[in-house]
Amino acid sequence: MRIPSGKIDQVIYFVAVDSVDLTTRKTGLTSFTVYRSRNGGAATVYTTPTITELSAANMPGVYSLLIDEDTTIASTSDAEEYCVHITQASMAPVNRVIELFRRDTTTGRTATVDANGRVDVSAIQGTSQTARDIGASVLLSSGTGTGQVSLTAGVVSANATQIAGAAVNTASAQLGVNVVNAGGTAWNSGAITANTFAAGAITAAKFAANALDAVWSTATRVLTAGTNIVLAKGTGITGFNDLDALGVRGAVGMAAANLDTQLAALSGNDTTINTNVLAVNTKLGAPAGASVSADIAAVKADTGAIKPKTDNLPAAPAAVSDVPTANANADALLDRAAGIEAGLTVRQGLRLFASALLGKANGLGTTIAKFRDTNDTKDRITATVDAAGNRSSVTLDPN
């Protein structure tokens, strides 16, 4: 029997005969013990020997043993002998020797060799091959199917959709190329900016004579370095218009009337201004002046006295949201630390008072008296008392 190295699905057969008469075939046997030795190795018991009785009626005493342990030969060997020793309490011991060998070809395939010693390869790593797939010159299959390219006289006709992983501009049918550098110098990406050009890269010498005449005629090119453009009124750049009198008044926010008319109207307001200044003086307690200027001077004097008092005001008064509400003031009072005494706020004290006065009570006739909170959810006060009701210790839960 020969078994390829590494195979673990092959079986060998043996006949079990009676251990006394060495003739009678034994059927229905179980609980076999199997030892193995490969290439002179130590006798090693099979961990889980798989032994099957073929047929007690048709092949009495014939059993099969699966060879599935230690079947790989050494890397330096082409073949090794493998011995098994099979025992069972009711049968005579059985020894079988097999050969483990290294295969030259893959199971299930036959290598076809011609008269010149050449092998006919039908598949490589399980993939079927044709005559054109391998050889000194690999032939391309012209066509439009999968794995084919369009060929005409050895020239490939292809539509490029990507270059270096970037999509080609198909909308304008142009080939888009991203240039990273030129002559070893890295280029900036994106739009052309001042940083794209090195300092001094563009000079007058870089342009051919009269290269810019097509966009700016030499007849009108009068700008020079350091000289401002001077245009006569009403002439020059198209699109600029002079403002008329009405336009000037509108630009400075004046009414339709001219400046003289508006100044005259202001003089008529002297009386109103003077009256208002006197009213301010009266409010400030300053003496009335003989004129508007005198009254203004008096107001200045009074405001000068006020200023030192306002210098200490905050630069940015507190916002309305910073002013405590009535509820905030109430909470601050109720939760003020040590509001009643050390460790007891007003809110906690009120809870304890309400428990003692309004809550349920139990155990008053015993040594432990308890007072519940008004919601009857917990014991607010737990006191140890004597027969006279005197408290020797008190446990409070004000929270």
Q: Read off the pLDDT of each residue in 253-268 and give the average, rounded to a whole number.
A: 67
Determine the pLDDT at residue 107.
55
Q: Write the secondary structure of 145-169 as one string of H (helix), E (strand) and C (coil).
A: CCCCEEEECCEEECCCCEECCEECC
Question: Which of 133-137, 288-292, 320-324 has the largest mean confidence?
Answer: 320-324
| Higher per-residue confidence, 262 vs 96 | 96
pLDDT at 232 over 90: no
Q: Read off the pLDDT of each residue in 314-321 and give the average, rounded to a whole number.
A: 59
Q: Which residue has the tokens 């002079």?
A: 242
Determine the pLDDT at residue 115.
76
Q: Read off the pLDDT of each residue in 185-210 and give the average, rounded to a whole number.
A: 71
Query: What is the three-class DSSP state of 278?
Result: helix
Determine the pLDDT at residue 109.
57
Determine the pLDDT at residue 227.
56
pLDDT at 137 over 70: no
pLDDT at 222 over 70: no
Of 111-120, 155-164, 173-182, 191-200, the one with minimum mean pLDDT is 173-182
**Domain 2-101 architecture:** Sandwich (2.60)
Q: Residue 41 carries which DSSP code?
A: P
> 346-358 vs 326-334: helix axis angle to the nearest 10?
70
Helix or strand holding residue 248 (H, E): helix 245-251
User: Structure tokens of 308?
Assistant: 């030192």
Q: How far apart are CA 140 and CA 147, in angstroms?
A: 9
pLDDT at 362 over 70: yes
The C-alpha R_g of the chain, in whole angstroms, comes to: 57
What mean pLDDT value characterizes the chain? 79
Determine the pLDDT at residue 239.
53
Residues in the chain: 399
Question: What distances in angstroms separate CA 376 from CA 352, 370, 371, 372, one per listed residue?
Answer: 13, 12, 9, 6
pTM of the model: 0.33
pLDDT at 305 over 90: no
Helix or strand holding residue 284 (H, E): helix 270-284
Q: Residue 7 carries which DSSP code?
A: -
pLDDT at 74 over 80: yes
User: Structure tokens of 309?
Assistant: 């008092």
β-pairing, 59-67 vs 119-120, is unpaired
Question: What distances in angstroms separate CA 215 from CA 148, 225, 293, one per listed residue?
Answer: 52, 19, 66
| Higher per-residue confidence, 348 vs 142 | 348
Q: Read off the pLDDT of each residue in 56-74 and give the average, rounded to a whole number.
A: 97
Of 82-86, 188-192, 378-382, the one with minimum mean pLDDT is 188-192
pLDDT at 84 over 90: yes
Determine the pLDDT at residue 150.
83
| Higher per-residue confidence, 5 vs 237 | 5
Question: Which of 46-50, 103-107, 255-259, 272-276 has the largest mean confidence?
Answer: 46-50
Contact 33, 41 (CB under 8 A): no
- pLDDT tens digit sequence for 333-347: 999 999 999 999 999
Give 292's pLDDT tier (boundaries 50, 70, 90). low
Determine the pLDDT at residue 134.
62
pLDDT at 366 over 90: yes
Contact 383, 394 (CB under 8 A): yes
| Higher per-residue confidence, 370 vs 258 | 370
Question: What distances in angstroms separate CA 253 from CA 58, 169, 247, one per listed residue?
Answer: 125, 56, 10
Q: Please count the helices (runs of H) and the strands (runs of E) in the chain.
A: 6, 22
Question: What distances in angstroms separate CA 391 from CA 353, 359, 362, one per listed residue?
Answer: 16, 18, 15
Q: How far apart are CA 44 and CA 65, in angstroms?
A: 16
| Higher per-residue confidence, 170 vs 61 | 61
Give 398's pLDDT tier (boundaries 50, 70, 90). very high
Q: Write the secondary structure of 317-364 as one string of H (helix), E (strand) and C (coil).
A: CCCHHHCCCHHHHHHHHHCCCCCCECCECHHHHHHHHHHHHHCCEECC
Boundaries of every domain in the chain: 2-101, 336-396
Give 250's pLDDT tier (boundaries 50, 70, 90). confident
Helix or strand holding residue 96 (H, E): strand 91-101
Give 396's pLDDT tier (boundaries 50, 70, 90). very high
Determine the pLDDT at residue 162.
74
pLDDT at 21 over 80: yes
